[in-house]
Structure 1
Amino acid sequence: MPKQHITAKIKQAIVERANGCCEYCRSQARFATQQFSVEHIKPRSVGGKTTLDNLALACQGCNNHKYNKIEARDPVSSKMAPLYHPRQQQWYNHFSWSKDFTLIVGLTPTGRATVEALQLNREGLVNLRRVLYAAGEHPPPC
């Protein structure tokens, strides 16, 4: 099956829907050093389609760590759990910010598995969150 092209119009709609934030780690594209990607929530390699309800805005780090995963191990229960799905789930049902707003805390098996699999608390992200919080730019309005 040929790869479907994501047009500039579709990409713009996805960026606007996400308020310019990674739909996983909540990084803001306007502060990123690398361009964000439109990623397939359910990867094409496992039958995902190139449709608006299967596309999400992701920073390069989250996109790379997610790759073709749809589930990961919950570090608390050691059981496999589905990864967070931005079109079907609400971020705040699965994640919260630490008291200093530098870490993403997984609240559910899906949240915890996603934090681990996508490494949502990568050192560079934590440092950037700290600086942006001090400047009044974090957490983002996503």
Structure 2
Amino acid sequence: MRVLALTALTIALAFAPVRAADDATEKELKRFQGDWQMVEVTKDGETRKGDKLKDRVWSFKGDKLVPLYNKDDAATIKIDPSKKPATLDILDKNGDRVEGIYKFTGDDTLTICGRGDSKRPTEFAAKKESGAILFVLERVKK
């Protein structure tokens, strides 16, 4: 009986870090939920802001990302908040993957920097010829 209890305890302890990581990921994923207005996009060192982005809204529901300006272009996201910086992968319906990093500033600003060439950015920048795109989004208030 002691061997069975010890085995059960060992198994429970082995999976505890996985559960804690899953809980942290679920908690972080909840921060994404809702609609986010693009307020700034930088690619190749060139930045677009303001009225040029007024129709650019992303909606996060669970692990789904839907650009409201093109609802057929839905994607699945996978985050890892334990990484420094936190990572975000976006997999679109065609199987194309964007590997990125993200950060929240407070609860209402989300910054994502990504690349589609399997070279995850290491900084929040989209310099000329870097291949990165930097998005700054603000939560849409209801």
Pairwise TM-score range, normalised by the shorter structure = under 0.3
Which structure has more helix as a fraction of its residues? 1
Of structures 1 and 2, the larger Rg is shown by: 2
- Normalised by the length of structure 1, the TM-score is 0.26
